[in-house]
Amino acid sequence: MQRQEIDARGLLCPMPVIRLQQAAPACDKGDELDVLATDPGVRADIPAWCRVHGHEVVEIREEGYTIRVRVRIGG
């Protein structure tokens, strides 16, 4: 399993999801992507994207002004 960070801080919807969507195809099943964002919309947008594409939100955590959304890539 590998873990990668996607820095989407300062970007507004839909860009954090687009960055995640661009990175996902290069990942293997079980890899994790951490999306770092400042747009509070990622709390709903990324879980919705994961439901549609068969991935899993492992956690959503606030770190100061940054929201970290950890996604596990599904099959």
Separation between Cα atoms, residue 56 and residue 54, nearest integer Å: 7
How many other C-beta atoms lie within 10 A of the C-beta of residue 24? 18
Separation between Cα atoms, residue 34 and residue 8, nearest integer Å: 10
35 alpha carbon, distance to own chain's centre: 4
Active-site residue among 11, 13, 15, 58? 13
Task: Please indicate whether residue 13 is annotated as part of the active site.
Answer: yes
Q: Write out the catalytic residue numbers.
A: 13
